[in-house]
Structure 1
Amino acid sequence: MRRARAVVEGPHFRIDTVDCADDHAGWSRPERSVATQIVLVRRGRFRLDSEGRELVADPTTGYLHAPGVEERFAHPAGGDVCTSITLVGDALLAGLPEPRSPEVRVDARLELAHRLLLRALPFRATGAAGAAAPGPDSLADSLAETVVGLLGLALRDRPDERPGPGRGELARRAREAVVADEPGSDDLVGLARSLETSPSHLSRTFRHHVGMTVSRYRNRVRVSRALSRIEEGETDLAALALGLGFSDQAHFGRVMRAELGATPGRVRELLGEHPPPRSGRAPRPEAGVAAVGGAGRALHDAAQLALDRQQVVAELLAE
């Protein structure tokens, strides 16, 4: 069963969150897309067959399809939660690279921008008690720029279409093994052994079809899990680092900075509901905020956090 909830809609796009509870290893009946859509996964994974081209969609890989494309889905790992951005017409695609493949490589910056955008949207769309929400035209125009940025980031790093070493199927199976934490997937030799190939062949094939080394992809998956855990409320970064397989918290921090350009602590501030003050002292209430007590402070903090998230999304999409 698939449930979609509209988050925001403008004249040229619509953003929905999609919760799919399907749990079947076999392919679904064919569906035909009715509009251009980009789908980014927040949780879970599933398989997609787009007119004979198969891919695995997970937080590191989304997909883009044009109107009229026939697709089938399989959910061997259970349900998933995605964000669907549907384009109305082709105005927002003008000037962007022509899609050559349904596969969208989602680097850590794009994933963080995606998560932050969803966290900021409810505040932007509704405002808060005592605060004026942005006008519909202003909000739609601002979000249109954000959607264009998301599309540009998603389309800038397309899979290599040239024939490469080995089969794409081998790279897909290796990627699935890493995402699923299958036995032996935590090192190249063990992964190659489980896939009945040599480490050198797997390394060359994986790098060509996925665009990075196996070890970097493993870290990319760990960063994705870290984002999900932090968004769910995890605050103990040392325990999180060890639980994700990093040697220590310093190693975790180095990988996060390399992939995101931000420390785990900064990511916790942005994705958390109640970010801690940036210094050891409580912040001084601004004029007008202290007068309304705790409720005023909470509203002020929520507004500031929404602005911080919007700013970071803009910075991530501009890189």
Structure 2
Amino acid sequence: MLEYKSLYNSSIVSLSDYRCSACRGGPAEEEHSSDNKIVLMRHGVFCKHVGKRIVASDVNQATFFSKGSTYRVSHPADCGDRGTIFSVSPHVLNDMIHELDPSISDHPDRPFPFVTGPCDSRTFYQHRELVTVLESVQSYPPDSLWVDEKAMLLITDVLNAAFQRTGLPKKRHRPRTDADHIDLAEAAKSFVASRIGERVILDDVARAVDASPFHLARVFRRHTGMPVHRYLICLRLRTSLEQLAAGASDLTALALDLGFSSHSHFTDTFRREFGCSPSDMRHTLTRKSLREMSKNLEA
């Protein structure tokens, strides 16, 4: 009646798909949450019974399960339900919540002061987009840097909406200055640029600049206007233009040297960015270079 499938797992976050085929009825036997989890629904509805309280969970809601909590589940309809379970590493989750509720330092084992929170249309669409990418059969796996950042952004939005609905605690002033944030972002840019052809994960970048993954991702986006993953992709693609203009003939070797998993991965990413294939761009760039050289010789 209840099936689980792992979609993604990293040191920062894991995602699992669940599908429940239970018919109308319940509540069932008591269950225990082994971890702090956030569930975003994609289909159906279930009711979570916490003591005498009954909370309906559907596609308009995010549902929160605190580690060690007990509850029972019932189903008000025969349609079953399906969704995505987000499990964030404890230190990253606490860092996220600390931005909204500094008092979590007093109760780190109880991060969620609510059972449900709103899931607006934008969040629902981004959640569905993420799951589609992770479920699709591709010739190359999804980039872990992209997945970690996308998942953290989703969770941040969901937590922020839940705290806003319940009343945001007053934030304490943090001693970090704008200059500190700029230095952090610049250090991360240097680290990423020095590893343009390597597999880069968010945890490694965060450790290199002595910051938490969540704090780094938030500050980097604010300072550069884009997430770390996007910044790295831009570095790789713009570097490839120089190599193509120089007449690079082995596109597979070029793709692997720049950190892409395959020729097709490089080509697909390049076409989305520049509107043409690398081979077409090489042809255009080399023809232009020859024309310019010819004009210089004539002069």
Q: TM-score, normalised by structure 2?
A: 0.49
Highest RCO, 1 vs 2 (Cα 8 Å, sep ≥ 6): 1
Which is higher, the Rg of structure 1 or of structure 2? Answer: 2
Q: TM-score, normalised by structure 1?
A: 0.46
